[in-house]
Structure 1
Amino acid sequence: MVGHVNMMDDVLISNLPPEYLRSALRVLIAQGSATQQPFVQHIRERLQDTKPEFVPFKVLFPVADELTEEATRYLALTRCLFSSKLVQLSLPYLSHFVEALRGAHASWTVGSELHQALVGFAGDIVQAIQALKEVGLTEDDKLEYQLVMLHAKLKECRYYCETYEPGALDYPFQRSQRQVADVLRILNSRALGETDDDSPPQLDITVGQAAETFALGPFEVPRIFNGFWQLSSPAWGAGSASSHDTALTRLVEKGWSAADMADHYGDAELVYGHFRNRLPPQVKDKVFAATKWCIFKPIGLEVTDEWVLEAVKERCRRLGGRVELLQFHWYDYEAKEYLDILVKLVALTKTHPELVSAIGLCNFDSAHVEEACEYLLSKTGAIGIVSNQIQFSVIDSRPLQRMCTVSKKYDLKLLTYGSFCGGFLSSRWLDQHSPEMYSASSHLTPSQRKYLGMIYDWGTWDNFQELLHKLSAIAEKHGVSLTNVAIRWVLQKPQVGAVIVGTRLGVTTHDEDNLAVFDFELDHDDIQAIDKISLGDENERALELFGKLGDCGNEYRKMH
């Protein structure tokens, strides 16, 4: 019976604390589209029926350098709009909040609660515009007008910050302004103007020497990549444009000169391109950009040379230059267009080396890595692709079943993510109780909830504690951290080229600790001791996980 709620359930809903309600909702939504879609649709309908108010400027910012409850509530409702895919509806609310800063003559100091909220709001704008791109951009005069207005308000706010008396304010919206300008360029908006981006100062830095490198296509690259997935959402914290520059400078000077990103990681390509294009030529040539072309649904058109070339050019435009490695993800192996797309991508590395240098795969399983390589051989006489990006850790050992063997056969390197298990593979979790996956008090990020689920697919929390203790003992033997041992285990597996380290740019840094992974090697006894717990005495734990989840990347195709 539609609309009926059991009386006792209704009593529960009416009396549960908000934290319990949020936890319960996360549990329900995690069950899949049958619960997720009605939830989002209900929220959309409520927001459209009773739209949030445009709070007066002076109510949002009544006094200097103070984050008010009204501002916090306004930001929360605005996030609800774009997170429920009501992106266009959210644009005037974003503009209003930016305009309110100038209208209320607001001021802030760097690091204050208000300043941190503004930096987070900059991340909200980035995420909202990314959501707009993902729902599809079409020629729409109203949409273009709203974007132009948002862009204008950001520029006005920048001028306000620069001319504020008695001293200039930190402008927190550089990321936002770049992201909005980027979508206006996609729409070919004439309102953007030629002088939108000021010429930022050049960065005078040098590239440090990586401790270990490997050959990837025509390049010699570090065995640790900086991963920018966290830029896709403020859920991991938000850094300002200047803090991004500081963090990237530090990483490159330590030899971490390779970065992994994607077309759907928020403004990651723009952030890295903005940084890379201010480096001296001799430094810029040593900085490596790996990004992705991810297709999550039917393309609905013929695969042509021109279409593939335009997709590559779009990524080059956002990076402001060449893509050293373009990694390709495909949503459904039954739709065989991906094979011809790969042929055309590989051809572009020969005909347009100024745009793209090498082609890789992303989250392909073993059978379809083999299918792609054989197809390329039959059509071009060469394999042409150089890598596959997959999840690989002491918890998720699926690549050891087939992927490592297939990759060796075709001389592909594996670029691994999830090797830290969202931070669970650290001493912080040693002798700790299992966190409640959906409780707000656990303070888990979306990635950590994913990897906690992976731990339970692999074994029990007690099994995990046994593994942490073994890693800790081996770490003590080598004088390194538990995390170093977990990463070294992956790096010493066949065909692994590099581990991708999730980098929360401008928020936290662990580069010094991670560099220690190159100060030692695991010996035979170390590996045997880890494998006994990680894989099982007779490989039974690894085989059970493979049987439960399928081969590498299978979980992502179940999402589409």
Structure 2
Amino acid sequence: MVNYRFLGNSGLKISEITYGNWITHASQVADDAAVRTVHAALDAGITTFDTADVYANTAAEAVLGRALSGQRRESLEIFTKVYFPTGPMGPNDNGLSRKHIRESIDGSLARLGTDYVDLYQAHRYDHETPLEETMQAFADIVRQGKALYIGVSEWTAEQLRAGHALAQQLGFQLISNQPQYSMLHRVIEGKVVPASEELGISQIVWSPMAQGVLSGKYLPGRPVPAGSRATDDKSGAEFIQKFLRDDILEAVQRLRPIAEEAGLTMPQLAIAWVLQNPNVAAALVGASRPEQLADTVKASGVTLDADTMAAIDAALGDAPNRDAEDTYRVSPERRLV
């Protein structure tokens, strides 16, 4: 079964392996398969589910809502996000304005079939809306009982500090950040993690397997496997390209004997690695088939000793991206609509 961790400086516990439905529900897999996979997650002890209104242009939220229908709501932690364009994509159908946040939370709750979400997250930082307006809108949502806690995604250290300060002034908790983090993408370690530790903010990390590259199935000098994420535009093919260089793929293959020595599969090693970081509350995993979860959940509770962690660093060498400046390049300078 899956272990639990506190989320930020709060009393909320979440499953350290959290189910995310970014590129699966209403996109990669049929709805009935999605429901079976959610039920497999529940059977494995996963109680925390992460989605966003933008996934499949709101349809992924609806699929998750149907999949969780009939479950005891108090036993679940449901997360969603707001920022990216949804609906007809008019001028106010994106960003973190008061208008868009208010309309988006009501839409998300209706699709998810719940009166509240446990965590409502700013999917990116909105450079075109005053931060005070955004945080006041989040404060109102918390007071209305529509969200219990507030989080963000891919914010810089400075943005986290400013948002945390305003949240304190407005009387609610900013408890999490959702960045990309894996053995191959370590840009948050330089600035974001130290600031988060100081503020009592946890990381809920996405792509802990580097879009599947850390599974070891992509081989240097070989075509990408047919039907894999790298061949499917709906499955984040653009995100995986940066990891498909031969030097990176060669480094990943050097992890195989380390995983075998630790008694782990390659996916388990990748997920266990991110969970060694004490600032990480959860690793987001997706699945298109129930049996995939049976493998990945075994990473929960695994402790990698110092020798194993050192061997991983030695095997990867210069392959990981550690450039802290990359955290400043994620949120668009202007809204997408």
- State the TM bucket, normalised to the shorter chain: 0.7 to 0.9
What is the Cα deviation at residue 288 of structure 1? 1.7
Say if 1:467 and 1:530, in contact at 8 Å, map to a contact too: no
2:258 corresponds to 1:482: no
Query: Which structure's residues are more often helix, by fraction?
Result: 1
Equivalent in 230, 233, 242 of residue 454 of structure 1: 242
What is the Cα deviation at residue 298 of structure 1? 6.3
2:327 corresponds to 1:557: no
Q: State the partner residue of 2:231.
A: 444
1:134-283 residue pairs with structure 2 within 5 A? 210-216=1-7, 217-231=10-24, 234=27, 236=28, 238-241=29-32, 243-266=33-56, 267-279=59-71, 283=72
What is the Cα deviation at residue 361 of structure 1? 0.4
Which residue type is aligned with residue 524 of structure 1?
Answer: A
Which residue type is aligned with residue 401 of structure 1?
Answer: G
Alpha-carbon distance change, 487 to 343 in structure 1, aligned in 2, over 3 angstroms = same
RMSD: 3.1
Deviations 1:208-241 (A, max 9, x none): xx4311122442110011111124663x3x3233
Deviations 1:432-483 (A, max 9, x none): 425369x999962234633442226xxx4134312331x2122111211012
Q: State the partner residue of 2:217.
A: 428
2:250 corresponds to 1:465: yes
Q: For structure 2, which runs of at least 5 residues remain unmatched after alignment?
A: none
Deviations 1:177-202 (A, max 9, x none): xxxxxxxxxxxxxxxxxxxxxxxxxx
* Secondary structure of 2:79's aligned partner: strand
Identical amino acids, percent of aligned pairs: 20
Alpha-carbon distance change, 394 to 441 in structure 1, aligned in 2, over 3 angstroms = closer
* Secondary structure of 2:214's aligned partner: coil
Q: State the partner residue of 1:286.
A: 75
Alpha-carbon distance change, 443 to 326 in structure 1, aligned in 2, over 3 angstroms = closer
Say if 1:383 and 1:410, in contact at 8 Å, map to a contact too: no
What is the Cα deviation at residue 265 of structure 1? 1.2
| Alignment partners' CA distance in 2, 1:442 and 1:292 | 23
Task: Please give the TM-score of this superposition, normalised by the length of structure 2.
Answer: 0.84
Task: Please give the TM-score of this superposition, normalised by the length of structure 1.
Answer: 0.52
| Alignment partners' CA distance in 2, 1:416 and 1:467 | 20
* Secondary structure of 1:557's aligned partner: coil
Higher relative contact order (CA 8 A, sep 6+): 2
Alpha-carbon distance change, 535 to 286 in structure 1, aligned in 2, over 3 angstroms = farther
| Alignment partners' CA distance in 2, 1:421 and 1:244 | 22
Q: State the partner residue of 2:201.
A: 412
Equivalent in 349, 356, 370 of residue 147 of structure 2: 356
Q: Which moved more, 1:257-266 or 1:337-346?
A: 337-346
Q: State the partner residue of 1:492.
A: 276
Equivalent in 377, 384, 397 of residue 186 of structure 2: 397
Larger Rg: 1
Alpha-carbon distance change, 220 to 376 in structure 1, aligned in 2, over 3 angstroms = closer
| Alignment partners' CA distance in 2, 1:250 and 1:295 | 29
Say if 2:251 and 2:316, in contact at 8 Å, map to a contact too: no
| Alignment partners' CA distance in 1, 2:44 and 2:34 | 16
Q: For structure 1, which runs of at least 5 residues remain unmatched after alignment?
A: 1-209
Q: How many residues align?
A: 324
Q: Which moved more, 1:212-221 or 1:445-454?
A: 445-454
Which residue type is aligned with residue 557 of structure 1?
Answer: P
Deviations 1:43-88 (A, max 9, x none): xxxxxxxxxxxxxxxxxxxxxxxxxxxxxxxxxxxxxxxxxxxxxx
Alpha-carbon distance change, 511 to 295 in structure 1, aligned in 2, over 3 angstroms = closer
* Secondary structure of 1:520's aligned partner: coil
| Alignment partners' CA distance in 2, 1:329 and 1:339 | 17
* Secondary structure of 1:390's aligned partner: coil
* Secondary structure of 1:425's aligned partner: helix
2:95 corresponds to 1:328: no
| Alignment partners' CA distance in 1, 2:291 and 2:135 | 36
* Secondary structure of 2:249's aligned partner: helix
Which residue type is aligned with residue 232 of structure 2?
Answer: T
Say if 1:260 and 1:290, in contact at 8 Å, map to a contact too: yes
Which residue type is aligned with residue 527 of structure 1?
Answer: M
Say if 1:420 and 1:483, in contact at 8 Å, map to a contact too: yes
| Alignment partners' CA distance in 1, 2:262 and 2:100 | 52
* Secondary structure of 1:503's aligned partner: coil
* Secondary structure of 2:196's aligned partner: helix
| Alignment partners' CA distance in 1, 2:91 and 2:164 | 22
Alpha-carbon distance change, 450 to 344 in structure 1, aligned in 2, over 3 angstroms = same
Say if 2:19 and 2:50, in contact at 8 Å, map to a contact too: yes
What is the Cα deviation at residue 339 of structure 1? 3.2
Say if 2:220 and 2:249, in contact at 8 Å, map to a contact too: no
Q: State the partner residue of 2:313.
A: 531
* Secondary structure of 2:178's aligned partner: strand
Q: State the partner residue of 1:343.
A: 136
Equivalent in 283, 287, 290 of residue 503 of structure 1: 287
Alpha-carbon distance change, 404 to 494 in structure 1, aligned in 2, over 3 angstroms = farther
Say if 2:188 and 2:324, in contact at 8 Å, map to a contact too: no
What is the Cα deviation at residue 496 of structure 1? 0.5
Say if 1:436 and 1:442, in contact at 8 Å, map to a contact too: no
Q: State the partner residue of 1:312.
A: 105
2:157 corresponds to 1:372: no
Say if 1:330 and 1:338, in contact at 8 Å, map to a contact too: no
Deviations 1:73-114 (A, max 9, x none): xxxxxxxxxxxxxxxxxxxxxxxxxxxxxxxxxxxxxxxxxx
